[in-house]
Structure 1
Amino acid sequence: MPDHKYDKLKRLLREMGSVMVAFSGGVDSTLLLKAAVDELQDRAIAITIQAPFHSRTELSEARHLAEEIGARHILYDARQLDLGAIENNPPNRCYICKQTIFGICRSIAGENGFSWLADGSNSDDLDDYRPGRRALQELGVRSPLLEAELTKADIREMSRRLGLRTWNKPAMACLLTRFPHGVRITEDQLIMVENCEDFLRNLGFGQLRVRVHDETARIELEDADMKRFMEVDIRTAVCGFFHSAGFKRIALDLEGYQCGSMNQTG
């Protein structure tokens, strides 16, 4: 059970004194924000970045979750930032983006008297391809969940016990991860992908991705959802919506949902 790890997390937060939490509204940052508010009260605050490659649905969800937790919440509009270095989706996109975004967040934290900026990285992230971690380390961003050795399973279990409705929320990621590296991405394409993923979730599918290959949508679902997806009514509805969104071809990936599948080579 993760109790001793959660106790360590609370101790770390108390030692930090005050913290600004980079808050996406996902499983990890929600637990971190909850713990920070419980331990530090008004010496904890959330900050959420609004950018074209962040889901509008998730932005709205983050607002509601911060309110439910009782956290003060800063919404920073980064839509006008010059992020031209990532418009062609380079392999080091995550590093460049986090250098820019978290650099701004760290400045805002300092300007508002917060000792630390913290993110929701956990110990499982060390086993994944995470080029943005280097940027966080260079900027001095703390990762209290990681420092407390909490895994994703631990975080879900503690979230469930604390009554956080994110405990079983599917993993989310920046919309740029839906596209191959080296491909120029427009805001219209990001909206198209977000709308198609929202449509699938509204049909009751959980963990999923819509990956883009030119004019083809490659849908990744969990194995348990594939049989239902193949029902005629579902396929007809999906094809109709995806075609209207702008895709010419729609494919179901028989290997199912894979975290970071666009990072694979060969």
Structure 2
Amino acid sequence: MKALIDYFIPHVNEGICMAFSGGVDSSVLLAAACRAAKAAGSDKPVLAVTFATRLHPQGDTAEAEALARSLGALHRIIEIDEFSDSRILTNPKNRCYLCKSLLFQSLLQAGQEAGYTFFCEGSNVDDTKVYRPGLQAIREAGVHSPLIDCGLTKADIRKFAADAGLSTADKPSTPCMATRLPYDTPFDYELLDRLHRGEVWLRDLGFYNVRLRFHAPVLRIEIDKKDFNQFMEQHERIVKFMKDLDFRYITLDLEGFRSGSMD
């Protein structure tokens, strides 16, 4: 964490503006940036920007705002409709690049208008080892990725979050809902909403990592393998709930939860 704080100190006077989802990665990033601003005696608070979009659960936005303010940052919510870009709506393989380009241009505009000139976001080293076309858009925008620059993995970040007493230390990752559909399957907001409701319900049952992937007409449920017995004990209840959400065929993926399995 000290290395991360030291990373930010030279940029405090530029004004630090970051994309802030409220997840564990961006929470550690924001905590470090706020500590750096305090250590440098800056009277310019860190600006945390949260995107309210069609592809991200709205409940996360409220949680992000509360957390940002508790850390001493200014917080701003920017509403963006990714589906206004017809290219994103078709769900191509480079959707993440197109979406990140849209989001980070909005971040730059918001920060510059408020007098901020150092921009960053929360990708970590693990993100560089899988298919993440959005990283190209981030670099093209001139936005920094301090967790990558400092060589931090997700495991490192969760440890820092726990040591710092952040409420997000054990929060499961919640990537955008686009990852629930195969590439080239056009987005349907009503379908994405049903998938989100199903995931929230399963988490409320006590499942930690949850993804509902939809391969029409099959709903494929990914959970941690250690939770398979718990799932089977409640499978009738789970099937009924999913069918009430208008999913016809319900399957449990025997490979278990895998981040990026659609790739």
- Provide the TM-score with structure 2 as the length reference: 0.94
Instruction: Name the CA shift for 1:19/1:172 in 2 (closer, same or farther; >3 Å).
Output: same
What is the SS of the residue equivalent to 1:117? strand
1:249: which partner in 2? 249
Alpha-carbon deviation of 1:57? 2.4
- Give the residue type in structure 1 aligned to 2:228: M
Alpha-carbon deviation of 1:80? 7.6
Aligned-pair RMSD on alpha carbons?
1.3
- Give the residue type in structure 1 aligned to 2:49: I
Alpha-carbon deviation of 1:215? 2.6
How many residues are aligned here?
256
Alpha-carbon deviation of 1:83? 2.2
2:189: which partner in 1? 187
What is the SS of the residue equivalent to 2:187? coil
1:260: which partner in 2? 260
The sequence identity of aligned pairs, in percent, is 37
Of 2, 11, 21 in structure 1, the residue corresponding to residue 6 of structure 2 is 11
Alpha-carbon deviation of 1:101? 0.9
- How far apart are the structure 1 equivalents of 2:133 and 2:106? 19
More moved, 107-116 vs 73-82: 73-82
The residue correspondences of 1:204-223 to structure 2 (distance < 5 A) are: 204-223=206-225
2:41: which partner in 1? none
- Could you give the per-residue CA deviations for residues 10-65 of structure 1, whole angstroms, max 9, x where no partner exists? 11111112211101111100110111112215431110111111012222221222
Does 1:21 find its partner at 2:9?
no
- Provide the TM-score with structure 1 as the length reference: 0.93
What is the SS of the residue equivalent to 2:30? helix
- Give the residue type in structure 1 aligned to 2:2: D
- Give the residue type in structure 2 aligned to 1:58: D
What is the SS of the residue equivalent to 2:106? helix
Structure 1 unaligned runs (5+)? 1-5
What is the SS of the residue equivalent to 1:43? coil
- How far apart are the structure 2 equivalents of 1:100 and 1:135? 9
1:116: which partner in 2? 118
Alpha-carbon deviation of 1:117? 1.5
What is the SS of the residue equivalent to 1:261? coil
Alpha-carbon deviation of 1:184? 0.8
- How far apart are the structure 1 equivalents of 2:65 and 2:245? 27
More moved, 193-202 vs 64-73: 64-73
- Give the residue type in structure 1 aligned to 2:8: L
- How far apart are the structure 1 equivalents of 2:61 and 2:221? 23
What is the SS of the residue equivalent to 2:63? helix
Structure 2 unaligned runs (5+)? 39-43
C-alpha contact 2:45 2:72 (8 A) present in aligned 1: no
Instruction: Name the CA shift for 1:239/1:30 in 2 (closer, same or farther; >3 Å).
Output: same
C-alpha contact 1:91 1:182 (8 A) present in aligned 2: yes
1:3: which partner in 2? none
